[in-house]
Amino acid sequence: MTKALFVVSECAPLVKTGGLADVAGALPGALAQHGVAVRVLLPGYRVVLGQIGKAKVVATYKDLFGGTAKLRACNIVGVDLLILDAPHLYDRDGAIYGDATGRDWPDNPERFAALCKVGAMIAAEGVDGWTPDIVHGHDWQAGLTPEYMRALGVDVPFVFTIHNIAFHGNADAGKLKALGLDPARFTTEGFEFWGQISALKAGLVGAAKINTVSQTYAEELLTPEFGIGMDGVLRMRQADLSGIVNGIDLDAWNPLTDPNITPYKTASGKDANKKALRKTFGLGKADGPLCVLVSRLTEQKGIDLLLEALPALLDRGGQLALLGSGDPKLEVALLEAAASHANVAVKIGYDEALSHKMMAGGDAILVPSRFEPCGLTQLYGLRYGTVPLVALTGGLADTVINASPAALARGVATGVQFFPINAQALANAFTRLGDLYADSKTWKAMQRNAMKQPVGWETSALAYKAIYADLTGATS
């Protein structure tokens, strides 16, 4: 059996800010079905330690970037976890990446360097009688791992997954010594990026294999528009770059067994959930589709485009129920839209149970992102028969079959895509959505198609296993 160590900054259900946590929580179980045993190395944030109780201490570090730390082992909902309990780095008020005002913690370079260094030490020495055959880092927070592995002389292969290249994890060059990094590696061929230390670049140049979370996003990253300064590095590593689309946890997201909703097997069973969702959001009946959106409220997610295009949805009798938080200006604008329109309802914040109810009760799920490495909400939508309306980018392009005339004629359409990614194109898509919804036979066929789509981890887990096998020579 192949043994893999995940180095990751968040993992559902313990701590989550986005799709990265869902992947870290679900992929290990899928890999276990194919002979890969995963242990997940995760920071011991206050919210995490509060959920694991008195987990077994398997290692102690006397001086880990300014303080004593312990490594604790436990199993939560079937995931084997190694929790880095370092109070001086992780036990604090605020969010996991920043304070209550949204500003990044100034010691984030040290906080995640500590995670990477411990990952490298586990690769070198093992822990509690267990040594990984592969180390798999996720996003910039794990990017320095191969640098520490190199310093320790570890020859365990390192795989690096880009979930969102927009975040580089840059640090001032003056931190080279404090982070214990080799100054000789601070070059354009190493982890130097415009005079700064880049944890993301360290991962890109140090990995044996690089992947991202959809094939289209992998191709987009090779361009200046999407590569965000790393496109040149990725073009140099193109032979080692691949795209593997994410999956979702089919047990957690199952309309037949979901405890948050009125269960249903076919899309016709959504009616009761739609009625309940309207009541929850204070919406009345309407002639058009009830659209739902669950998202961080940022321009990346196209929320400003949604606000501009919203009249096109409302003019067709459509409704919007939105759950999310983020940019204060966008929050205010959305609340103002809700105050002005009876068919718009907004809840600021995040509520996992409510997100399930929205997926079950909505007619369509909106994902108007300017870029989207993979996206999970459209996959939840497909699973629940909630037709995705998405921008044509990244994983949204790879997972939704646009209701083009050809796709409709063949009876394979599962959603609506729009391009270019601007407000006018989104408004046009709302018009198309209204037309499709008004055609009951076509709409029901799209819902059936959506619910038939494979959105689990089976295929993707096999793809990850193949990468591991290629690097380790494992045959089973």
| Domain chopping of the chain, boundaries | 2-247+457-472, 267-452
**Residue 100: its pLDDT value, please?**
85
**Residue 350: its pLDDT value, please?**
86
Task: Quickly name the fold that domain 267-452 has.
Answer: Rossmann fold (3.40.50)
**Residue 18: its pLDDT value, please?**
83
Q: Please check if 16 is assigned to a binding site.
A: yes
**Residue 476: its pLDDT value, please?**
53
Can 2-247+457-472 and 267-452 be said to share one CATH topology?
A: yes
pLDDT digits (tens, 9 = 90+) for 87-107: 999 999 989 999 988 899 999
pLDDT digits (tens, 9 = 90+) for 45-67: 999 999 998 899 999 999 999 99
Long-range CB pairs of 279-287, under 8 A, 24+ apart, other chains included: 280/354, 280/357, 281/321, 281/345, 281/347, 282/345, 283/319, 283/321, 283/342, 283/343, 283/345, 284/342, 284/343, 286/317, 286/318, 286/319, 286/343, 287/316, 287/317
Strands 192-193 and 196-198 turn out to be antiparallel
DSSP string, 199-230: HHHHHHHH-SEEEES-HHHHHHTTSHHHHTT-
**Residue 172: its pLDDT value, please?**
97
Cβ atoms within 10 Å of 261's Cβ, excluding its own: 24
Residues near 135 by Cβ (< 8 Å), separated by ≥ 6?
4, 5, 7, 119, 120, 123, 145, 149, 156, 157, 158, 159
Q: Name the H helices within 247-302.
A: 271-281
Number of H helices and E strands in the chain, helices first, is: 19, 18
pTM of this prediction?
A: 0.92
Cα 405 to Cα 64, 349, 414: the distances in Å are 60, 38, 13
**What six digits make up the tokens of 199?**
């944890």
**Residue 61: its pLDDT value, please?**
98
Which single residue is written with the structure tokens 């604090």? 92
The DSSP bridge partners found for residue 98 are 104
Cα torsion 95, 97, 99, 103: sign:
negative
Residues near 171 by Cβ (< 8 Å), separated by ≥ 6?
109, 179, 196, 197, 199
Sheet holding 69-76, edge to edge: 56-61, 69-76, 79-85, 36-43, 2-7, 134-138, 158-162, 209-212, 241-243
Residue ranges, the chain, pLDDT below 70:
475-476
Task: Quickly name the fold that domain 2-247+457-472 has.
Answer: Rossmann fold (3.40.50)
